Amino acid sequence: MGILGRKVLGLAAAAALALSAHGAAAQTELRLAVETTPGDPLNVMLTHFRDALSESAGDEVTLDFYEGGALGDEVALMEMIRVGEADVVPLGSDVVQLDEKFAIFDAPFLFGSKEDARAALDGELGDILAESLREKANLQVLAFGELGFRAISNNVRPIETPEDLQGLKLRTPGSETRIMAFEMLGAAPTPMSLGDVYVALRQGALDGQENPLSVIKEFSLHEVQDYISLTNHVYSPITLAMNGDTWDSLSEDLQAKVIEAAKIGAEATRELSEESDNNLISEFEEAGVAVNEPDIAAFKEAAAPIHEEIGQIVTPEFMAKVVELTQ
């Protein structure tokens, strides 16, 4: 073969290599991780996000999916997504450990209804929180899903008034402001991984816990609790977040597909929340659990000092803005 022929072959090989490299770069691999198992709202959000993105993006993405705490609990996953070892994680109440502005969700009775909370998160309040989380932790908020309003379960007595919380050992998330709120109400809050709560309740290491009804069901906590009190004391969103550097690396087209998939995941959790609240009370009662509706007016009165304390943490100006956007 002459020199010209060798040059032509060399150019062709280089072109093929460049094309191959371009094709490889066009496919994005994303690591998705969640602490919980199928059926739980966090898992539902990530699963629907995965399926919707897989359908819309096709061969553009490879999605590695880890559930049931395969990569660790929520606290571990928060660290992993920050350093890029995970790309997409749905975060519950513990997100406040990354950004203190999320402490507003530990302010009791901030939202009058789920509709009010959803409207705020889909609007200006959600935009403010998303901007803050990107600044504080380099996480891109994809959408806000729903854990829902939380109830208190325990094995000592029905919770009718704040006084009934006195001395109860209640599992809470690791949020310092959630812990502070229950301390101010007289309880003995105990942070613990959600996966350990069932055994702790069964063995008596805990008296009770607080979670949305759907979470109580999915973790079978009603099997080891005598009372469930529908306090609806705080509303908990799900923050579906992506590592900021990963987000920035995506094309605008793929970013749009990611956001659309996240919205589908969020809507799935809101539908689950409605279904759970409509059906689970009777299911719990049939299982022998006593379900009651507390004196909410008494709880709201007791919560006023908690709002003031949380306002000092998130700044009085931001708390005033949140109240403006949620009333």
Q: What is the distance between the alpha carbons of residues 117 and 126, in angstroms, rounded to a whole number? A: 10
**Pairing state of beta strands 169-172 and 61-66?**
unpaired
Which two structure tokens, joined as six digits, stand for 277?
A: 């609240």
Q: Which pLDDT tens digits describe the chain residue by residue (327 residues)?
A: 454 444 444 444 444 444 344 444 468 999 999 999 999 999 999 999 999 999 999 999 999 999 999 999 999 999 999 999 999 999 999 999 999 999 999 999 999 899 999 999 999 999 999 999 999 999 999 999 999 999 999 999 999 999 999 999 999 998 899 999 999 999 999 999 898 999 999 999 999 999 999 999 999 999 999 999 999 999 999 999 999 999 999 999 999 999 999 999 999 999 999 999 989 999 999 999 999 999 999 999 999 999 999 999 999 999 999 999 987
CB-based contact 239:201 (threshold 8 Å): no
Q: How many CA atoms within 13 Å lie on the side-chain side of 176?
A: 10
Amino acid 174: pLDDT: 87
What distance in Å separates the CA atoms of residue 212 and residue 257, rounded to the nearest whole number? 30
**pLDDT recorded at residue 10:** 46
User: pTM, whole model, 2 decimals?
Assistant: 0.87
- What tokens appear for 273 in the block? 């929340």
> 175: which 2 tokens?
């949020």
Q: Which CATH number fits domain 28-326: 3.40.50.720, 3.40.190.170, 3.20.20.140, 3.40.50.300?
A: 3.40.190.170
Residue 327's pLDDT is what? Answer: 79
Angle at 276 between CA 48 and CA 63, to 5 degrees: 15
Q: Which residues contact 301 (CB under 8 A, 6 or more apart)?
A: none
Q: Where are the domains of the chain?
A: 28-326
Per-residue model confidence (pLDDT) at position 26? 60
Return the closest-CA partner of residue 299 out of 126, 139, 110: 110
